[in-house]
Structure 1
């Protein structure tokens, strides 16, 4: 059976100043977790590395890769693994 990855709803949502994003992998492999704005621009890369099977949690503090605070609004987080891509929506309220 192919390996599966599951992306969970972020907690809390809406959030300020920080939210946690959990995902689960059924097999070890590369994982890429990124944040995008509504225009599809990548705001931040939270994780880009090999991960073991099991549950993992990343935090996002509402900042871009340069460390700048991003404005209130809707953002999308996307998990890409060998088993596919999954995207979910979150709201930052400053």
Structure 2
């Protein structure tokens, strides 16, 4: 019984956290500082949370050539299965990245 209560608690907490993440970026725009970069994506910190951004649709497998750790970027897109799929990425001064 205790195990079921623990499972339910973690499941509920996970749903609540995911719901908050989606609600905060519901309008399709997120901004923040890049914490980590890989070939087709990066991790973005907006000051309150970190978001995994899938940038393959914008940069292909060349994200690490265009975006660096510490860059401040704005991303438009949508959440899809826990990742934020980027439709466009711009620098803080409005320049397009990977276009």
Choose between structure 1 and 2: higher strand proportion: 1
TM-score by length of 1: 0.29
Q: TM-score by structure 2 length?
A: 0.28
Which structure carries more helix by proportion?
Answer: 2
